[in-house]
Structure 1
Amino acid sequence: MLSVVASTAQVSPRPPLFDFQGVSMIHHFTDNWENVQNFQARPDDILIATYPKAGTTWVSYILELLYFGQTDPERQTSLSIYQRVPFLESDFKILPFGTELADKLTTSPRLIKTHLPVQLVPKSFWEQNCRVVYVARNAKDNVVSYFHFDRMNLGEPEPGDWNHFLRRFMDGKMGFGPWYDHVTNWWEKKQTNSKIHYMFYEDMIEDLGREMDTLCSFLGLSPSSEEKAKVMEETQFDKMKNNKTTNYSGIPVMDFKISPFMRKGKVGDWKNHFTVAQSEQFDQDYQAKMKSKTLKFRTLV
């Protein structure tokens, strides 16, 4: 397993947000930008795209097990998920560039993750007609998860209190831009690109077997019932939360004393954070900003 030798005490001050090509970003995702944009995708690459805190690790691990769980079981215990599924645009200094990790992958297909909005995805993924698995999560649960993630991740901007963070989210002043634009623009891209499979976190919580069947159909996979059962077992939330290769416990910038990387993994936890007034204000703002008539989310199962 890749060792991370830096300590929390050595971590730089929390990075500020800045405008980057019309999207709020932090330098960890732009410092290696030339290599990101020039990244050479391969036709069999699978890009896992999400807004932050929408089930990225969950879907990454599902795909990793579907493709390599049977053929290379040692890989599942010897390498952390961020090595098996590199974060393309990442430049965290304590790890190799995401582009470098992706280039060094020996698997086929290569599984690569990104949080980039659709307009910033390297053009080679479109030129090579790569398959993309996009996962979206309802806005209220997404912002709650993002808040706790930023609290514990010293590599993220200072979150402030919950009320301040919620306002920032509504204003789109978040890493990787507004949630509204991200989920909608990827949805619109899917309408004209059959290589994009758009999934919903809430559907996965409701019936993972059903969603996995649909995903496998998209990917052209035909796992046996035993293989499918094994994947579903290994990707249960509590099991992943206690798995050192998937829970990010080896990353020094993440302070698990504040909050674990994998916190609850539920639908509807927003009700434990939003006041009635905040919920009403958020709903009004949501209706104004979500222009798509066909993209629908559920805030409860």
Structure 2
Amino acid sequence: MDSVSRPELFDFHGVAMTHFFTDNWENIQNFQARSDDIVIATYPKAGTTWVSYILDLLYFGKTAPERQTTIPIYERVPFLEICVPGLDSGKDLADKLPTSPRLIKTHLPVQFMPKSFWENNSKIIYVARNAKDNMVSFFHFDRMNGLQPEAGEWNNYFQRFLEGKVVFGSWYDHVNGWWKKKQTHSNLHYMFYEDLIEDTGREIDKLCSFLGLSPSAEEKTNVTRGVQFDNMKKDKMANYSTLQVLDFKVSPFLRKGKVGDWKNHFTVSQNEAFDEDYKKKMRDPTLKFRTEI
């Protein structure tokens, strides 16, 4: 942890980034996708690990159950754009994946996606989470993750999030950009964190129908049970506790997995300021989020 100093944010083609996600840029852009690849795309802290785990169980829970107990989730589902000195880059891990399909995760905004994913018509699952909870989760993540810029004070973080001055840029641009893409790209399944919390089984059914999977009732029960938040939080292969750069004394990687935790952080005036700002930036009436369920 000490060997890596926290990175600075900089503007990268109009998106706030750090060098850990841009150092390997050319290789990432030239990534060779396959038609059976499945990508989990999200803004950070929107349910990425949860959906990665669901997919891993759906595809390999029965045929290769030992994966779940021996290989950490970040190796089973590599993080495409990450490049940290001394560790395998996400791209290299993805290239070396022995599985078919390959499960790959990314936080890239839609305009940064390597072209081959579109050209090969790979399936992409985008998970979106309401901005208030997403902000709170990202704040706690930035506090404990040595690879992220310092979180600083909550009031200051709140402002920076609204301005898109966090890694991977503006939440608004991210969720809207992917939503627009969905209108023209049939191999993109757009799902909401809140729906997953509300009825995990129903959302797994939708995923299966998008992916053309037909698991037995028993398999589905096993997946739904396996991905319950409390089970994942205790699971060393799912909770990221084996990763040195994360400081669990500050906050766990999988923290609460709830909808509405923003109410424990936002002041009344912050909430008003947020709602005002949200109205300006969320112009598309077809993209709707729930901040409580």
TM-score bracket relative to the smaller structure: over 0.9
- 2:144 is aligned with 1:152: yes
State the match for 2:25 in structure 1.
Answer: 33
Aligned partner of 2:159 in structure 1 is: 167
Partner of 1:280: 272
Of 209, 218, 229, 2:221 maps to 229
CA deviation profile, 1:234-276 (whole Å, cap 9, x unmatched): 1010110010001000111110000000000000000000000
Distance 1:209 1:171 in 2: 36
Say yes or no: does 1:99 pair with 2:91: yes
Gaps of 5+ in 1: 1-7
Matched residue, 1:129:
121
Q: How many residues align?
A: 293
Report the secondary structure of 2:62's partner residue: coil
TM-score relative to the length of structure 2: 0.99
Query: Which among 2, 11, 16 is matched to residue 9 of structure 1?
Result: 2
1:86 to 2:78 alignment:
yes
Give the CA deviation at 1:75: 1.2
1:246 and 2:241 matched: no
Of residues 10, 13, 22, the one that matches 1:18 is: 10
Q: Give the match for residue 102 of structure 2.
A: 110
User: Aligned partners of 1:73, 1:63: CA distance in 2, in Å?
Assistant: 13
Is 1:205 equivalent to 2:216 in the alignment? no
Deviations 1:179-223 (A, max 9, x none): 000000100100111100000000000001111101100000000
The residue identity in structure 1 corresponding to 2:2 is A
- 1: CA distance between counterparts of 2:100 and 2:124? 15
Alignment-mate amino acid for residue 176 of structure 1:
F
- Structure 1 residue matching 2:126: 3-state secondary structure: strand
Q: CA RMSD in A?
A: 0.6
Percent sequence identity is 69
- Which residue is equivalent to 2:46? 54
What residue in structure 1 maps to residue 292 of structure 2?
300
Moved over 6 A (4+): none
| Equivalent position amino acid for 2:222 in 1 | K
Match for residue 62 of structure 2?
70
SS in 2 for 1:197: strand
Question: Which residue in 1 is equivalent to 2:188?
Answer: 196
Mapped to 2, the partners of 1:24 and 1:299 lie a distance apart of 25
Within a 5 Å distance, the mapping from 1:135-146 to structure 2 comes to 135-146=127-138
Which letter does structure 2 place at the counterpart of 1:210? R
Partner of 1:119: 111
SS in 1 for 2:2: helix
Which has the larger displacement, 112-121 or 86-95?
Answer: 86-95
Structure 1 residue 15, shift from structure 2 partner = 0.3
Q: Distance in 2 between matches of 1:168 and 1:222?
A: 43
Residue 94 of structure 1 and its aligned partner are, at CA, apart by 3.8
Distance 1:45 1:39 in 2: 12
After TM superposition, the structure 1 = structure 2 runs for residues 253-268 of structure 1, keeping only pairs within 5 Å, are 253-268=245-260
